[in-house]
Structure formats: C-alpha cells, structure tokens
Amino acid sequence: MHIKGRKARYTVSAVALAGVAALALSACTTSGSTSGSTAATGGTVTVAVVNDLTSLNSQTPQGNLDTNGQVGYLNGSYGTGFQYIDNNFKIVHDDKFGKYEKTSDDPLTVKYTLNKNDKWSDGQPITADDLVLGWAIASGYYDSATLDDEGKVTSGTQYFSIAGSTAGVDATAFPTVGDDNTSITLKYSTPYVDWELVNPIAQPAHIVAKKAGLSSAADLTKLLKGLPKGDKSSPAAPDATLKKAADFVNTGYDITAFPTDKDLLVSSGPFYVSAWTPGQSITMSKNKYYDGGLKPNVDKIVFRIIPDANAQVTALQNGEVDIINPQASADTLTALKATSAKVLTGDQVSYDHLDLNFGSTVFQDPKVREAFLKTIPRQQILDSIVTPVNPKAEVLNSQIWLPSQDDYAASVKQNGSDKYNKVDIEGAKALLAGATPSVRILYNTNNPNRVDEFQAIQASAAKAGIKVEDAGSPDWSTLLPGGNYDASLFGWISPGAGTTQIPQLFSSAGGGNYNRYQGTNDLAIKTQTTLDTDELVKLEQQIDKQTFADGYGLPLFQLPGVFGVNARVDGVKYMGNQNGPFWNFWEWSVKSSSK
C-alpha cells in the first residue's frame, strides 16, 4: 500500500457511481485522533448512525444514502478495493488487493491487476470478470437511451442506473483482459481528470450472472464482449439478458428486511452484513476470505440506528455505543464534553442546500423561482443551527466550492449569489405580481436541522404570499428520485477528492441530478476532460454563475462535524468526508480488557 500525492482541489457531496468517488446523501478542519499503545485483536465496535439501511447497493440514485455507502465501504462495494481516500483527502493505493497504474498518457491507458488470492466472501475468486462488470456499470457503454428534460427514457435503452455520472469512463473501449483473467486494461479516447479514482469493483459477477440466468461470470463477460456499444442515433433492441442483469444490480439490492437470499450479502471487502434489524441495528462480521491491505483488528462492527443527536450522546455515555457522529449542535457539544468520551471536531466536506425541481409546474416560471429564493432566510438558518457550534461560520454562496477552499472567494465575486444575500420580501412580491403560488418541500422529518430549516423557510415565504406545504417524510431519500415535490432540503457529503461530483449534479444524465436541471450540461461534461487547472476553474466558475442565474436553488451552509469516542476503542481519527469515522476501520482496536 502506498500513498499517491494527488489531493482534493475542491469538494462538494449522497455516494458514488460504480468505481468512481461521487457525492452522497447525508444525514475549520482540525484533526484529532484517539491513540493508545494497545493494538488488541477481536471484539466488537458499535457506532451510532442517523439513517437506517435501505440498500446493499449505495451506487444507485435511490440507494445513494450515507449509511448505505458506509456499509458499502466496509463490504468493498464502494470506496475500497484498489484505493481509498485518507483524512488528508489523498488517494491511497491498496496494492495488497490489487495494483493499478497508468501505462500511457496518449492515449490515456490504465491497467488494473488483482491479487491472485482475492476472493469474495462466499469463497469464489475475484477475477477480471468482476472488473469487466464494474466497468460496464460505470461506463454506460451499452446505453442507447435518449432522455427527456425530466430524465425519462424516450427512446433506446438505459441499462445500469448509477448515482454518479458516466462522464469520463464513458470514453473507454471494452477492456482488454489479461494475466490469466486477473487484469483489465482501460484505454480512454479522451483525457480523464479523475482516472485515479476509478475503482472497477462493484457487485460480484458470478452472482449477477446467476440472477440473469447465466451459468458463470465468464458467460456474463462473453455476453458483454459480444454486444455492441450503444448508439443513440440508431438504438438496437434491448438485450434481454443484459437487461435482466442490470435490473438486478439497479434494484435487486434494495431491501426492507434482512435478506433471505444470501447472494445479496456476498462481499469483496473486509466485512459482510451478517444481521439487520430494521430501525435498530446492522451487524457486519469479518470476511475470512479477505486478503487486501485493510485487514481489521476487530471481529464485528455494529451500526446502531439513533437519529437523535442527544440520544446518541446518552447511548455513548451509557456504553451502548462506542462511537457517535451526530449532527453537531451547541447542545450536542456541551453534552459530549460533559462525558468522559474523546471529542474530535472539524469541518465536513458537506453542505445543506435547497434545490428547486425544474420538473415542477410551479417553477417553470423563472420569476417564481427568483421570488421564492428571495424569501429564503439563510442567515437566520445559519445562526440557529451552525453559529452556536462554529461562530466563524458563514452563509454558503457557491454551488461548487466550500468557504475554506482556494477558489471560493473569487467565484462568489462573479457568480451572482449576492442577489440572495438578504431576504427581500418586497422584491419577491414585485416578481409575483399578486400571484400566490404553493411550494411542496421534501425533507427528512427525522432530522431536527431540516425541520428547523423547513419551518424557517415556510414562515418567511408566507410573508410574500407563497404557501409552503409540508412534503417531509422519514423516507425522503427514496422519494428524491421520484420528483413528486417542488423543492427539496437535504445535504450532500463528498469523498473529498476528484471532480466527478460536477456531472453527477449538473449534467442532464447525472445520477444526483434529482431536480432535473439542464442548464449546465455541456459545461459539466467538459470538466471531466479538462486537465488544465486554470481552464477547469473557469468552467466551474461558469457553472457556479449559471446555476444562480437560473434559480437552481440555494446552498445554505457547510456542516461542522463532531465524533465522540469512548475509552475502550483506539485508533479513531477525524474525517470530514462521507465515510466519517469508518474511514480507517482497519486501525480500530478494542482494548483487551474490555472486549
């Protein structure tokens, strides 16, 4: 395992497309860590999380939730495999799982070679067939679909549905398989800025093949190799077997109870899901076949579902959980500091935001969009939620950058966000010219911060004659892709590296483009092939400016982060990305006297 020098330039962020770091739906960076001389093995670590499990595939639009992604991080279906991102937002290669290297710049060519001992948790070998499937999911190679403004297929076929974007990986040809079926080589027809984040490990090919009616992973590769690249201008009839395989990957991992079908639990990572009681806990046990570099000390990791921050602190104090990562508030910090727990704090690469649904009837009129956004009391929301935790926090005025990042200030000067610096009720009334529109807002009713945001917006908008209706739900994350609302309040949390988040959000085919925004499609796609840093910043600034001009929505604030860790667990270090405290699970240990 070795560290590469590449680091995040900027961040925003629900989770990732197959194999490429992307944004995930989420429930001052100072670094801190718990440390100790004991490196005991065995035992169980229990971690409190806000959201429950909804899918064992976090890389679909409906599965793109922080808890799903953290489970995926532990079982190898997201964020681990050939590499991971450390808490300095550097890309770390795990050469014990497999090596990858750029073998040519022109054309860009990258070779991935698996460790010969890599196995799935059911004992089956991990092979190039698995890498070919991961590539097929990430690249959209076989898609021939034309989409309308609402993202619906009007002609052709879309096979795999991903939370991120195919931009970048879509410039690859069918992989070259070699080294006795343990390697693939990807050749790009255009440059790709985030090639080093491509991680072609997703679902097990032998399981996907079985669900599609094939006898082996090799048969699935043979099918994929024999099918032509999708052509929007002349779409072929859908291949029934590939469609069946894709449908399984897209929805077959969505669960409401612990699966009776054990095929869904097969893992390539250090852990696999061994139990789940919905609404209460998820248990992950060590995968005895795992042979990568992230071998854990502990035998089990248990997720306890505790949405309320104060209840998390109480559970930590009572010894019911070992680690908490609640939404930070002044009350939470005060309560935590009154315990004996280690408190780790820092910024998150995460932000709350209000998005307008461009598929909604009420927001077809740009004047209504602007009027509604003029009523959003962003400073009031910041002061009530964030300022008590971070007095230096400020309203977020960019859709691309966070305040601590180098290019933030320059973009804010040019992006037109100053139009919404203050609540302007009279300006909103003038734009509405007597109209009294209704706006239905989707948000998480189990999240106190989102409830507060909704109520503040509802009260302010009413002053301009806008009726804000409550479309909140505890099932908000599964409702986001459906678009049955006018606006949404939620958070993005980022992996902290790369640029693939931009087409994920701001291109028409982006898996995170839940609000059906079309205004920056070409610019967003172009960011993936722009290697010149200055030119890339210019593209990002154009996107930032265009989204404000179009009334895309409003960023609210960057989220502060806090971990609480009790004394029985060593090795936890602060991390501000979507993996939170789980990011270095292999370094955790339970003190031998307290297993």
Residue 36 has pLDDT above 70, yes or no: no
CB 72 within 8 A of CB 58: yes
Q: Which of 11-15, 152-156, 233-237, 477-481 has the lowest mean pLDDT?
A: 11-15
Q: Where are the alpha helices (DSSP H) in 295-437?
A: 309-317, 330-337, 366-374, 378-385, 408-414, 425-432
Written as six digits, the tokens of 64 are: 């793109």
Residue 25 has pLDDT above 70, yes or no: no
Mean pLDDT for all residues in the chain: 90
Name the amino acid, one letter, at 518: Q
List beta partners, residue 101. 111
Give the separation between CA 564 and CA 240, rounded to whole angstroms: 50
Averaged pLDDT, 399-408: 89
Residue 302 CA: distances (Å) to CA of 79, 120, 307: 19, 21, 15
Tokens 């999911």 belong to 137
Q: Quickly list DSSP for 553-585.
A: EEEEEEEEEEEEE-TTEE--B---STTGGGGGG
Q: How high is the pLDDT of residue 593?
A: 54
pTM for this model (two decimals) = 0.83
pLDDT-based confidence at 213, cuts 50/70/90?
A: very high
Q: How high is the pLDDT of residue 6?
A: 26
Query: Is residue 589 within a helix (H) or strand (E), and if so which, with residue range?
Result: strand 589-590
N- to C-terminal Cα separation, the chain = 29
For residue range 269-297, list pLDDT tens digits in order: 999 999 999 999 999 999 999 999 999 99
Q: How high is the pLDDT of residue 511?
A: 81
Averaged pLDDT, 18-42: 50
Give the pairing of strands 487-493 and 553-565. unpaired
Averaged pLDDT, 72-97: 93
In the chain, the largest separation of any two C-alpha atoms, in whole Å, equals 72
Query: Is residue 85 within a helix (H) or strand (E), and if so which, with residue range?
Result: strand 83-85
Q: How high is the pLDDT of residue 374?
A: 98
pLDDT-based confidence at 585, cuts 50/70/90?
A: very high
Residue 298 has pLDDT above 50, yes or no: yes
Q: How many CA atoms lie within 13 A of 484 on its CB side?
A: 9
| Among 20, 41, 1, 104, CA closest to 589 | 41
Which DSSP symbol is given to 55?
B
Q: How many CA atoms lie within 13 A of 243 on its CB side?
A: 9
Residue 444 has pLDDT above 70, yes or no: yes
Tokens 């991120």 belong to 164
| Among 60, 24, 20, CA closest to 194 | 20
Of 439 and 477, the one with more pLDDT? 439
List beta partners, residue 350. 493
Give the separation between CA 53 and CA 436, rounded to whole angstroms: 39
Of 370 and 19, the one with more pLDDT? 370
CA dihedral 522, 528, 532, 537 (to 10 degrees): 60
Averaged pLDDT, 34-42: 60
Q: How far is CA 3 from the centre of its chain?
A: 23
For residue range 451-462, list pLDDT tens digits in order: 999 999 999 999
Written as six digits, the tokens of 475 are: 């099932």
List beta partners, residue 3. 92
Domains of the chain, earliest start first:
348-557 (3.10.105.10)
Q: How high is the pLDDT of residue 378?
A: 98
Of 24 and 131, the one with more pLDDT? 131
Residue 64 CA: distances (Å) to CA of 18, 214, 268, 493: 11, 28, 19, 11
Q: How high is the pLDDT of residue 1?
A: 36
Averaged pLDDT, 400-405: 87
Residue 38 has pLDDT above 70, yes or no: no
pLDDT-based confidence at 150, cuts 50/70/90?
A: low
Residue 26 has pLDDT above 60, yes or no: no
For residue range 241-253, list pLDDT tens digits in order: 999 999 999 999 9
Give the pairing of strands 487-493 and 153-155. unpaired
Q: How many residues does the chain have?
A: 595
Whether residue 107 is preceded by a cis peptide bond, meaning omega within 30 degrees of 0, is: yes
Q: Percentage of the chain with pLDDT > 90? A: 76
Q: How high is the pLDDT of residue 187?
A: 98
